[in-house]
Amino acid sequence: MEPSKNIGPILRIKDLKKSFGDNHVLNGFTLELFEGENLVLMGKSGSGKSVMIRCLVGLMQPDEGSLEIMGKDISKLEQKEFNELRTQLGFLFQGSALYDSMTVRENLEFPMRQQNKTEEESLKLVLEALDSVGLRDAIDLMPEELSGGMKRRIALARAIILKPKIIIYDEPTTGLDPITAKEIIQLMRNIQQNYKTSSLIITHDVDCARVISNRMILLIDGINYAEGTFEELSVNKDEKIQAFFK
């Protein structure tokens, strides 16, 4: 699916600033994500990538700047409205963040708790999501019974269960072996095609960025230092940019 830039960004971050004491993590970071786009954000550890997405999903308050999701400024929303908007966001956590005390099915049903769905409807959506990640048989397993790659797949299934418009991936391939990482990248592509989602992907993995990105942003010193396609950035002569592709 080609990104559509005609109808404005589905997600917009403008002049985002966040500091922790004297440590200025974000110094006016700006980002626009368009419908159907896979935008990869790369930056060194501690460069503020995670802080940015935590601000975006409301887990952290920014010091300055505006955050708009589907045209709505999240700072102006009531908690209830924001929670409704959050159902349009899928989030894949770096460590999967599956609920230990629940089965795979309960994990996947959890985001549907406020949706007033019948048991049959819930089960249908759970099976559909599990089919998308190829793990239908794991429905009754506990997270402790799953391998790292399976956990990541189940977390991905949970992220897409409500058919969100935007999926945010926080280091989706970190900690996985190369083969499993490739499988996850392939799954991300399939999901993007099948569910017509827009994706914001935070990663260190150059292979992942190469395969999946329509556009990339390099976050250096708290600002978007460089922006472009993978091909454009990979041949850029700037030392700071080249450091990511070596």
- Residues near another protein (CB under 8 A) are 54, 57-59, 83-84, 86-87, 89, 91, 93-95, 97-101, 110-111, 113-114, 158
Closest CB to another protein among 2 and 144? 144
* 47 vs 208: CA distance, rounded Å: 19
CB of 76 to another protein, least distance (A): 18
Write out the E strands in 36-152.
Answer: 38-43, 64-69, 72-73, 89-92
CB of 60 to another protein, least distance (A): 10
Name residue 153's amino acid: R
Order of strands, sheet of 23-33, starting from the edge strand that comes earlier in the sequence: 23-33, 11-20, 64-69, 72-73
Tell me the closest approach of the beta carbon of residue 85 to another protein, in angstroms.
Answer: 8
Cβ nearer to another protein, comparing 59 with 235: 59
Output 101 or 118, the one with its CB closest to another protein.
101
Q: Which is nearer to another protein, 164 or 230 (CB)?
A: 164
Nearest-approach distance from CB 59 to another protein, in angstroms: 5
Task: Output the six-digit token pair for 236.
Answer: 């850029």
Burial 124-136 (b: 16+ CB within 10 A, else e): ebbeebbebbebe
Nearer to another protein, 155 or 212 (CB): 155
Minimum CB separation of residue 28 from another protein in Å reads 25
Q: CA-to-CA distance for 49 and 56, rounded, in angstroms?
A: 11
User: For another protein, which is the closer residue by CB, 93 or 245?
Assistant: 93
Distance of alpha carbon 153 from alpha carbon 182, whole angstroms: 12
Shortest distance (Å) from residue 210 CB to another protein: 27
Cα separation, 201 vs 199, whole angstroms: 6
Dist CA 216 CA 184 (whole Å): 19
